[in-house]
Structure 1
């Protein structure tokens, strides 16, 4: 019989707390100019299912490209990280990618997933527990964009490595990305490191197609954020009054996802009302794409050196290993 004690999340988050935080962020974001909603709220149950469908689309290359890198370079990754690694994954989501890393680690000391939803985290851990039944798992319920601590009772380990795949780092402007990686740096000692997924700059048409798929799944994913506001916050709005838009901003090196108002309308939520005129937009996601020099600069500002890296044949995506700077 397996002892589930270690699998109980530290600092569980109540539904009331998470709903209030969602409401607070929505009210803050809609009051901005332009209005903004944060991409971390894409991933309720419906949004997660839509994203799984996005990852299978022919236009959406990041997930399958990164997984191919992890599969092909797994032995080299395992050798670079070394034995008895404590693997920490902020925003753990699906266990598919971390499984590709764990299977090449020599006697991993444990796994610490960090996820804002304890319920979603436990559901996603099921396949990982089946694949690695002896692996100590110490979940943490936390918003990784805010400071968090490692749980008590984690096993002894030779080094701690943070696994941050999926080009999630691209959802943050470079200065915010540097601050986030700097907080991650604070969780590591001099023997630790950061395994980072980074989407590279490439032809604009490839990028635009990845976020404007022909089947319209990304559009549904974007609009689901409004439907989530209806379901969880009782927001009064018409999702059909908005359309999905994704554009490439070359000057900022980023894809921008918007919800564009198709007429004059209001969103009422939390006792407040927000007016939208035709073509007003809500920014829902930035996805920055990096040159080699650009990501090295972000890493340096966070106190890291890029010491190893793996890429695909087309050089569309990088998996980088960062270690704490010695100076």
Structure 2
């Protein structure tokens, strides 16, 4: 077994500076907003793992079953020598692809990418132990601006799973897909996992569970600001809100101030006023229609090769090729 390597393009200081920029921009905007990537400190990641096991939260288990049922077909359609996974986290679902590509006989290298060096090192060590024939090369970076740092030297398939594409507004999605296209060679591929537009009475509870885990997860972003930027938010004074926007076909998660309040962010020397019932947007989760995602891919130069959906048409795996 070859020990995994870790390539670091994002330091903790750079992460803090990015948070400083986002917090100042988002909390001085009208309406206020924060990017969803700041949910995921250690506590946020733990809460999200709990969310994926909730009965209301269908996306993770639906995508997992799709991968289980179709990983061999994906492997034969791809023939990838290098599997790159953006936002890999614990790499749990990816094991289904790793098994299939290994059995197919083409895979030589796995490249997990994540913003957390600690999480990435742990996942890389475990994958190396479980797949001793693979080279494992972790990349610590932000996928939105460091795609050019991904290793090459073999036929690559970039996997972007979990519906994370939906966290980007349309202009950001276009920029992201253009960037992926630019780093791939002709014939290389992108595997997307995307949530589909379904009935709101199934969709909304996935983001507003009865147990209140998603509410705690949502409020955790305020704890991140408290911890990293010396802010004095009282998270319990904000109510979790999940709304379906039928015009944009996305879920919005927001935090609503339950009373007038003044918040100080000492690291930014910034004072932020909240009026009672004022809302702070913390995430969008866009859902797609099949023809819509094919159109977005085509607009960035990709051709769609294959699409797999579950029997309820709630989720899709889309294999596209440059």
| Category of TM-score, reference length = shorter chain | over 0.9
Matched, 1:88 2:70: no
Matched, 1:274 2:282: no
Alignment of 1:50-61 (within 5 A): 50-61=47-58
Matched, 1:44 2:41: yes
Paired residues of 2:124 and 2:138 also in contact (CA < 8 A): no
Aligned to 1:114: 113
Aligned to 1:33: 30
Distance 1:111 1:150 in 2: 15
Of 193-202 and 23-32, deviating more is: 23-32
Paired residues of 2:82 and 2:111 also in contact (CA < 8 A): yes
1:139-193 CA-to-partner distances (Å, cap 9, x unmatched) read: 11211111432356x5x42x11110001101111223212101101111111201
SS state at 1:298 partner: helix
Aligned to 1:233: 229
SS state at 1:186 partner: helix
Aligned to 2:289: 291
The structure whose residues are more often helix, as a share, is: 2
Paired residues of 2:82 and 2:156 also in contact (CA < 8 A): yes
1:180 maps to which of 176, 180, 194: 176
Alignment of 1:179-198 (within 5 A): 179-198=175-194
Paired residues of 2:44 and 2:217 also in contact (CA < 8 A): yes
Aligned to 2:303: 305
Deviation at 1:244, TM superposition (A): 0.5
Of 137-146 and 115-124, deviating more is: 115-124
TM-score w.r.t. the length of structure 1 is 0.93
SS state at 1:263 partner: coil
Distance 2:35 2:263 in 1: 16
SS state at 2:183 partner: coil
SS state at 1:202 partner: coil
Unaligned 5+ residue runs, structure 1? none
Distance 1:46 1:103 in 2: 30
Distance 2:231 2:182 in 1: 39
Paired residues of 1:200 and 1:290 also in contact (CA < 8 A): yes
Distance 2:190 2:259 in 1: 46
Of 175-184 and 65-74, deviating more is: 175-184
Deviation at 1:129, TM superposition (A): 2.2
Deviation at 1:135, TM superposition (A): 1.1
1:75 maps to which of 72, 75, 82: 72
1:213-235 CA-to-partner distances (Å, cap 9, x unmatched) read: 00000000000110111112111
Distance 1:233 1:184 in 2: 32
Aligned to 2:220: 224
Give the CA RMSD over aligned residues. 1.4
SS state at 2:208 partner: coil
SS state at 1:9 partner: strand
Deviation at 1:107, TM superposition (A): 3.2
Paired residues of 1:249 and 1:255 also in contact (CA < 8 A): yes
Of 106-115 and 27-36, deviating more is: 106-115
Of 110-119 and 274-283, deviating more is: 110-119
1:225-262 CA-to-partner distances (Å, cap 9, x unmatched) read: 10111112111121111111000011110000001111
Distance 1:26 1:205, change over 3 A: same
